[in-house]
Amino acid sequence: MKLLKTALLVTSLALTAAPVMAADDSRFSLELEAGSVWQSSNDVQIPNSDLGTRFSLKDLVGTGPWPAGRVYFTWNINQKHGLRLLLAPLSYTETGIFDEDVLFAGEAYESGVPTQATYQFNSWRLSYRYKFKNGERWQLWVGFTAKIRDAKIELRQGDTTSKDDDFGFVPLLHFTADWRFAEKWHFIADLDGLAGGPGRAIDLSLKIGYDINDRWSVTGGYRTVEGGADVDEVYNFAWFNYAVVSGVVRF
C-alpha cells in the first residue's frame, strides 16, 4: 500500500500542470481506483500432497472487507494502438483459530490456538491494446497482458511460522468494451483473463462512468478477481469481490 500511496501522490502532483485537451485527442489517461474487497473463498494446501493440509483462509479469518486500490496509466500511441500499465496491490493480515490441526509449508499448527494469517497477491501488469472499433456509441479493444504475480501466504502461531512465496510471470488475454448509452454516461466492461492447464486467472470489472467534462470522468461499479493454481508445490484458489469508485483524468 505504501507503493500505491506514493504513486497516487506523485501522479496527482504531476497532473496539476497538464493542459486541457479534448477526450478524442488525449494521448494519456490516469485512473485512480479505490474501494473495499471481500473474499468469497480462499482455499490453500502447501505443499499439495500428504505433507500439507487443505484449509480455508476465509473460514480462518473471515470475509473482510479490506481496503483496496489500483492505479492505471494508459498511453494511446495512436488511434489504434495503446499500452496500459496497472499497479494492483492486495494484502491482509488477520488472526483466527483453526478447527483442526494443519500442516502448512513444513510446519504444524494446532487447532484452538490463535493463528495469524497473511495473504498477499500483488499484480503488476502491462497490456498492449488494439482498438478494433471506434464508433460514436461503441469502443472496443483486444490485446495481451503481461502480468507479474507477487504472492505470499504466511502463518504464524506463537514461535511457529512458515510461508510460501510465489513470484512469477503470467500471460493473459485482454478485452475492453465502452458503450456510451447517453451523452455523458457510459458502461465499461474490462477483462484480463486466461484459463487452462493447472490454473486460471480472471479479473473482470463492470462500471458505470460519467464524464464531468472532456478531461475528467468518474466511475463506479463491481470487480471480481478469481483464480489460482493446482500444481505439486501449491494448491490455492481464491475469489475476491470489490465495490469500487475511481477518478479518470485525460491529458
Q: Give the pLDDT confidence score for residue 197 in this predicted structure.
A: 81
- Cell numbers placing 223: 470487480
What is the Cα–Cα distance from 188 to 168, expressed in whole angstroms? 29
| Backbone dihedral angles phi then psi of residue 19, each to the nearest 5 degrees | -75, 150
Query: Measured in Å, how far apart are the chain's first and last C-alpha atoms?
Result: 26
pLDDT tens across 131-164, in order?
999 999 999 999 999 999 999 999 999 999 999 9
- Cell numbers placing 176: 475492453
Nearby residues of 19 by Cβ (< 8 Å), 6 or more positions away: 251
- Cell numbers placing 217: 470522468
What is the Cα–Cα distance from 30 to 99, expressed in whole angstroms? 46
| Backbone dihedral angles phi then psi of residue 84, each to the nearest 5 degrees | -135, 130
CB 94 within 8 A of CB 117: yes
Q: Give the pLDDT confidence score for residue 14 in this predicted structure.
A: 38
What is the Cα–Cα distance from 233 to 146, expressed in whole angstroms? 23
Decide: helix, strand or coil at residue 21. coil
pTM of the predicted model, to two decimals?
A: 0.87
CB 144 within 8 A of CB 173: yes
- Annotate 155-194 with DSSP letters as a single string: EEETTEEEEEEEEEEEEEEEEEEEEE-SSSEEEEEEEEEE
- Cell numbers placing 191: 477483462
CATH 1.20.1260.10 fits 2-250, yes or no: no
- Annotate 195-217 with DSSP letters as a single string: EETTEEEEEEEEEEEEESSSSEE
Would you list the domain boundaries of the chain? 2-250
3-state secondary structure 97-127: ECCCCEEECCEEECCCCEEEEEEEEEEEEEE
Digit-by-digit pLDDT tens for the chain (251 residues) are 444 444 444 344 433 333 333 344 689 999 999 999 999 999 999 999 999 999 999 999 999 999 999 999 999 999 999 999 999 999 999 999 999 999 999 999 999 999 999 999 999 999 999 999 999 999 999 999 999 999 999 999 999 999 999 999 999 999 999 999 999 999 999 999 999 888 999 999 999 999 999 999 999 999 999 999 999 999 999 999 999 999 999 99
